[in-house]
Amino acid sequence: MRRLSRFEQKILVAMGLVALAPLAGAIVLGRSAVRDAYHTGVNERIHAQLEGSVDLYQVHLETLREDAERTTDAIAYHHALHDALDAADRRAVDAHLGAMLERFPHVARVSVRQGEEVLAERAPDGMDGERRPVTLRRMLPAETLATPEGERERPETEVEVVATAPQAVFDRFQTAGEEAELYARLLEQSEFVSGTYVGVFLGLLGALIVVALGLGVLLSRRVTARVTSLARAVRRVGAGDLTVTVPLGGRDEVHELTEAFNAMVRDLRASRARIEYLQRIGAWQEFARRLAHEIKNPLTPIQLAAQEMHRSYQGDDPRYQRKLEDACAIIEEEVATLRRLVGEFSGFAKLPRADLEAADLRDFLGDVERTVPAILEDVYEDEEAPAVEFLVADREMPVRIDAMMLKRCVDNLLRNALQALRGREGGHVRLRALREGEEVLLRIEDDGPGVAAKDRERLFDPYFTTKSDGTGLGLAIVKKVVLEHGGEITYADSELGGACFEVRLPLGGRPSARPPKKSET
């Protein structure tokens, strides 16, 4: 087990003081405080009040029962019901039951039977709230009735009344009884309960202190481990290692600090890579300027000398004349090639810095799209050209660009894609532009042969080319311009199967890395 660090020791001491300070007071005052609190809530006076409330509910329920009995008597022994039964008038019986329901709204159902036969039965349309029913019956004895037609026997009649009472009264009565019973048990065991509470309280307090100290060790080590890891990473960055990444953990301030540190290292790494590349480009530009100057100076004398030799020959040897003409043609052709290379070197050496201005990338790409026919005619001349597709998101894409230089970049990437498709049937070049978070993504891809894996790392190096007639400056210029726009360019796998170049520019633009001074290269 490793030794506790100073930071961990400080955390544990602070936690111990916080935990132990109230413990002494809790031990002294805990028992009396808990006992007094218990006796304040559990005493004879409150128990007597609870018993009284149970008795009140009991009286209330008995009153409701007596009211239901009186209601049943009022319905069963009403003279109107007897008159209707004597007259054997079912309608009158039914009308009497309806009147009784209106008079006694707490009655849920009332019926009159003679044997198995139901003379009448009525129930209200609905009752408010939840209610508990109680069924009461009254038997009306059989009677012999004297009528003009003679004596008639009225059979024994049963009157059934279903009275109701609010269910809440019964629920409260039951709850009150349970609470009174529980309170009585608590009152009997007050000494035992208060002592138990005090013991449990002190036991839990001691256990919590132990657990708190254990958790303090674990948590402090987690925090200090991350802080230590962050400190080691800072020392590595200070030594120049920008590949370091500190793993994230937790959701606290240390996590935020680590996240900010990793973001800072990523920005430093990107900035250093950008500055180093611009430094290399600056050195290559100086080399190109000197090389162009050294090559350009002797080209004119060489060409003039060859032309003078051709004009000054006055002999009549046809074989020598033919060799002289072939030599002059070769010299002039190679001089023209060297002049073209010198022109490209000079253009690369004199490449200006990007002068950024606010623009909408949609408008810029619209201008580029209008120049595509001229590019196709220049690359393919009379050959059948491949399809060029522009997919630009219909959403504002504000950027800061140098329109002339960025157009040169996009033109170069389009020409590379079109040249890669020469000699292939069909062909498809696609330019897609869309927003991704705080960036604008510009993808230029084709369905050509792509770039070999071994050549991808050197794609943007000056003077590296896979073309027989290339100078290797095009992609180097493209990357330099993109970096000066605060963006980045990478090679990726194309959805079409060929090459794909992704250019990412910040929305609204951001300061780009300034090229180094000559004294810094």
**pLDDT tens figures, 357-413:** 999 999 999 999 999 998 888 888 778 888 899 999 988 999 999 898 899 889 989
Top pLDDT among 179 and 74 is at 74
Q: Given this model, what pLDDT does residue 223 score?
A: 66
pLDDT digits (tens, 9 = 90+) for 39-82: 555 566 676 777 777 788 788 888 888 888 888 888 888 888 88
Angle at Cα 206 formed by Cα 201 and Cα 211, nearest 5°?
A: 120
Tell me if 1 is assigned to some domain.
no
Is a pLDDT exceeding 50 seen at residue 451? yes
What pLDDT is recorded for position 314? 74
Of the listed ranges 217-221, 292-296, 510-514, the one predicted with least confidence? 510-514
> Quick one: average pLDDT of 435-460?
88
Statement to judge: residues 260 and 409 lie in one domain: no
Q: Give the pLDDT confidence score for residue 6 in this predicted structure.
A: 64
Q: How far apart are CA 401 and CA 360, in angstroms?
A: 9
481 — pLDDT class (breaks 50, 70, 90): confident
Q: Which residue has the tokens 């004879």?
A: 44
The residue-averaged pLDDT of 331-346 equals 68
- Give the residue among 406, 420, 418 at the shortest CA–CA distance from 503: 406
* pLDDT for 367: 92
**Do residues 432 and 500 make contact, with C-beta atoms less than 8 angstroms apart?**
no
User: 452 and 317 in one domain?
Assistant: no
Res. 200: pLDDT tops 50: yes
**How many C-alpha atoms does 186 have within 13 Å on its Cβ side?**
18
Q: Is residue 241 domain-resident?
A: no
pLDDT-derived band at 512, boundaries 50, 70, 90:
very low
- Where does the pLDDT of residue 327 fall: very low under 50, low under 70, confident under 90, or very high at 90 and above? confident
The range of the structural domain enclosing residue 13 comes to 6-40+192-227
Q: What three-state secondary structure class fits 146?
A: strand
Which segment of 54-68, 286-300, 476-490 scores lowest on mean pLDDT?
Answer: 286-300
Q: Say yes or no to pLDDT of 498 above 50.
A: yes
| Predicted local confidence at residue 399, as pLDDT | 92
Tell whether 268 and 124 lie within a shared domain: no
Residue 410 confidence (pLDDT): 92
My answer on whether 209 and 315 are in the same domain is no
Euclidean distance between CA atoms 221 and 8, whole angstroms: 7
Query: What's the total number of domains in the chain?
Result: 4
Q: Are strands 157-166 and 131-140 parallel, antiparallel or unpaired?
A: antiparallel
Q: Are 501 and 429 in contact (CB under 8 A)?
A: no
Same domain, 303 and 450: no
Alpha-carbon distance of 197 to 31, in angstroms, equals 8
Q: What is the pLDDT of residue 50?
A: 73
- Confirm whether 263 is domain-assigned: yes
Q: C-alpha angle 329/334/335, rounded to 5°?
A: 95
- 375 shares its domain with 277: no
CA–CA distances in Å: residue 110 to residues 92, 189, 317: 14, 51, 147
Is pLDDT of 457 > 90? no
CA dihedral angle for residue 102, residue 104, residue 106, residue 110, rounded to 10 degrees: -80
Co-location of 179 and 198 in the same domain:
no
pTM confidence score:
0.45
How far is it, in rounded angstroms, from Cα 112 to Cα 118?
6
Query: Is the CA virtual torsion 392, 393, 396, 402 positive or negative?
Result: negative
Does 233 score more than 70 pLDDT?
Answer: yes
> Are 379 and 507 members of one domain?
yes
The answer to whether residues 92 and 218 belong to one domain is no
Task: Tell whether the model's pLDDT for residue 437 goes beyond 80.
Answer: yes
> How does pLDDT run across 98-153, given as a tens digit for each residue?
888 888 888 888 898 888 888 888 888 776 668 888 888 888 888 777 667 767 77
> Average model confidence (pLDDT) for the chain?
77
The alpha carbon of 333 is separated from its chain's Cα centroid by a whole number of angstroms, namely 64
E-strand ranges in 233-377 read 357-360
